[in-house]
Amino acid sequence: MRAVLQRVTESTVSVNRQVIGHIENGLLLYLGVGSEDTAADLNYIAGKVINLRIFEDEAGKMNLSLSDVNGAIMVISQFTLFGDTRRGRRPSYTKAAAPEKADHYYQLLLSRLKAEGYKVAAGQFGAKMAVSYINDGPVTILIDSKKVF
């Protein structure tokens, strides 16, 4: 499982020009599910997202987590995180999970975050979305459950 995590002051997602999700002060998470991913990969990503200390404390140091700042999270499905560009000019997505599996893990992550008390907004799985955000910092973190990077 792969994730791009961005600290944001706000984020909005729209489908067909209709806003379906909005957050302020929190994290924007793009989630890619791989064909070999399991529940262990989901747990790894969820733990990192929830516990990474990437928000500034009163001294300006990144020492606070999402829960420390009472932040919200926007989760967007993003199969292109598994795009392999090593050969040719068109990315290969053969390592991305099939849509049914990817949606299953996407929904599990949303449920887990909500169950843990976070304000969660989400995109629409499989839809063409317009995502806007203001990256705070900017802070952008790459996470891979297989620890490829």
A 10 A CB-CB count for 7 gives 25
Residue 80 annotated to the active site: yes
- Between the alpha carbon of residue 60 and those of residues 27, 30, 53, 57, 81, the distances in Å are 18, 26, 12, 5, 31
Q: 9, 80, 85, 94: which is the annotated catalytic residue?
A: 80
As annotated, the active-site residues are 80
